[in-house]
Structure 1
Amino acid sequence: MMSGNQSDKTWYGPWTERITELLPEVWNTLIVVADSAFVTEENLNTYEKRWFISRMPETYRLCEALKDRAFADESRWIEVGSVAQEGKEAASYRIQGFEDELYGRTYRFVVVESSALDQRKAKRLEKLVAEEAQAIEKAVAQQERLSYHCEADAKVALEDWRRRHNRWGFHHVTGQVVQERTVKRRVGRPRKTDPDQGNVEVVRWRVTFTVEPDTEAIEQRRRRDSTFVLISNVPRTRRADDAELLRDYKGQIEVENLFRALKQPYFVHGIFVKTPKRVLALAYVFLLGLLVYAIIQHRVRQGMRQDQQTALAIAGAKFRSPTTRTLLKEFDGLTHVIVRLPDGTVTHHLQGLTETGIQILRWIRIRTDNLLMGASLPPAESG
């Protein structure tokens, strides 16, 4: 058991050695899927002879270099489609595979572009575009307030402004020199012989700007932000296709969703045991329960695929990939009836079991013939 304050980058080594001791024959045949905290020189050394798939941290220069190589050749992208999810909202992916060195070893790298941009990155990009627009508005307003006596001076000012403001990444800023003619009245009373009655025309030159969003640059940044890089040492004899590495990596969402269920406050808000040993024992009980939870979910989804059933109707809604939590809702109104016969025989029956419930029990391989309520038995009283 490790401290919750331990860095994610440091626990992979001890954890790996411990699992290797417990499962020596199995562990080294598995493919470990890890997040970006895994990628350190020490961890890669530990996994020199073990297989892994991980995500490259954005802080590595190699990560950005691989993205540059991928976007430099649009013809090399391979369409993969959706991977871990189904339906209209599922993200689709395209990939490019590379081989390169990191810490003196050669690894497989897969640059992955997703059609869906992470909400945090989308908000960050929106903020960057808005902040740049505000900066341009301020710089333009300062320059447009100035005027010049001749066109040449205005053109020099425009070129100087362009040199000082050439960093815009998400907007097109176009400047032009325009002439302004205004009529002003001379100071004092005009002469009677003055045909202009004291009015004089003043010619000045100004710099004006047109600002438009650079939609192509914004889209390129959006694409780059929705792109990530995978690193792996899995040989092509085990995973020949780079798309298989992506599927393995995205498959971890199933495990994460399971542990998300376990982390609900209902389970871990307060653990009233007195020693770390008992906390650890309780954690093992939770994990065993989670294992059953996972088996139920897996078997139902597998049964749906085998029976070619695209969706399951539960509580008035349809689910394409139901979780165990959703499946259990089908049994909320169920009544467990225990019948004791005069000869001492005890039978158990389920009252209120629907066709969907029967189908779910069949998929998870629980017999229902001895659980269904007999027609001759009266309904159980509530409460």
Structure 2
Amino acid sequence: MTGSCAVAVQTRRDAEASLGCFVLATNDTDTARLDAGELLRTYKSQQQVERGFRFLKSPDFLVSSLYLKKPERIEALLMVMTLCLMVYAAIQHRIRYELKRQSRTFPDMKKKPAQNPTGRWVFLCFDGIHVLSVNGTEKHMVGISERQSTIIFILGSTYQEIYS
């Protein structure tokens, strides 16, 4: 027994057209600021911000051990945390940008070369660097591995001076 499947051409076109539909509601009524396309791109870019806040729920962050009563202290903590997320996102962006610009790679968690490491992974990879003081005045950085050197090098002279 044999058979075949067929769909009306108009039904298929209607189905394909509906795949491009995205409903976005906003209270931004100033249409001069953002057109529909820009509004949609802005909305979709929020995913990157949300991903940054995801770590706040992580057990690694130990947020459950904090207890603040005063609204001013809660606001201050949120401001500091938001600032930290901005720094985290900026350094992650810079590392990824420089890796691509310089055609370099950084080993990912599976030790495969990658150009888009997470900031968390890079920070974890910096574990093991120590400052050795000699006679209380001379300081040397010890324990710098090749992958740490890669990040230090791509970030530029300021970082190279700190870690030299």
Provide the TM-score with structure 2 as the length reference.
0.67
Separation in 1 of the partners of 2:69 and 2:100?
Answer: 46
Report how many aligned residue pairs link the two structures. Answer: 152
Determine which structure has greater relative contact order: mean sequence separation of CA pairs < 8 Å that are 6+ residues apart, divided by chain length.
1
Partner of 1:359: 150
Separation in 2 of the partners of 1:303 and 1:321?
Answer: 10
Please, which runs of 5 or more residues in structure 2 have no aligned partner? none
1:10-21 mapped onto 2 (5 Å cutoff): none
1:349 has 2:146 as partner: no
Counterpart of 2:160 in 1: which secondary structure? coil
Q: Does structure 2 conserve the Cα–Cα contact (< 8 Å) formed by 1:271 and 1:279?
A: no
1:241-256 mapped onto 2 (5 Å cutoff): 242=37, 246-256=40-50
2:77 corresponds to which of 282, 285, 288: 282
1:234-245 mapped onto 2 (5 Å cutoff): 234=32, 242=37
Once the two structures are TM-superposed, the CA of residue 358 in structure 1 deviates from its matched residue by: 1.8
Once the two structures are TM-superposed, the CA of residue 295 in structure 1 deviates from its matched residue by: 1.6
1:301–1:214 CA distance, 2 compared to 1 (3 A) = same
The amino acid across from 2:95 in the alignment is: V
Partner of 1:257: 51
Separation in 1 of the partners of 2:125 and 2:152?
Answer: 11
1:228 has 2:22 as partner: yes
1:1-383 mapped onto 2 (5 Å cutoff): 221=15, 224=18, 227-229=21-23, 233-234=31-32, 242=37, 246-265=40-59, 266-309=61-104, 311-315=105-109, 316-332=111-127, 334-341=128-135, 344-351=136-143, 353-365=144-156, 366-369=158-161, 371-372=163-164
Separation in 2 of the partners of 1:272 and 1:278?
Answer: 10
Counterpart of 2:159 in 1: which secondary structure? coil
Once the two structures are TM-superposed, the CA of residue 267 in structure 1 deviates from its matched residue by: 4.2
Q: Does structure 1 conserve the Cα–Cα contact (< 8 Å) formed by 2:106 and 2:150?
A: no
Once the two structures are TM-superposed, the CA of residue 297 in structure 1 deviates from its matched residue by: 0.8
Separation in 2 of the partners of 1:234 and 1:252?
Answer: 21
Separation in 2 of the partners of 1:234 and 1:226?
Answer: 24
For residues 159-186 of structure 1, give each alpha carbon's deviation from its aligned partner in whole angstroms, at most 9, with x where no partner exists.
xxxxxxxxxxxxxxxxxxxxxxxxxxxx
Q: Which has the larger radius of gyration?
A: 1
Please, which runs of 5 or more residues in structure 1 have no aligned partner? 1-211, 373-383
Separation in 2 of the partners of 1:272 and 1:219?
Answer: 56
> In proportion to residue count, which structure has more strand?
1
The amino acid across from 1:317 in the alignment is: K
Counterpart of 1:228 in 2: which secondary structure? coil
The amino acid across from 1:357 in the alignment is: Q
* Identical aligned residues as a percent: 30
Separation in 2 of the partners of 1:219 and 1:329?
Answer: 50
Counterpart of 2:22 in 1: which secondary structure? strand
1:246–1:362 CA distance, 2 compared to 1 (3 A) = farther
The amino acid across from 1:227 in the alignment is: C
The amino acid across from 1:272 in the alignment is: Y
Counterpart of 1:251 in 2: which secondary structure? helix
1:345–1:320 CA distance, 2 compared to 1 (3 A) = closer
For residues 259-311 of structure 1, give each alpha carbon's deviation from its aligned partner in whole angstroms, at most 9, with x where no partner exists.
222332424334223333322222222122212211211211221232134x4
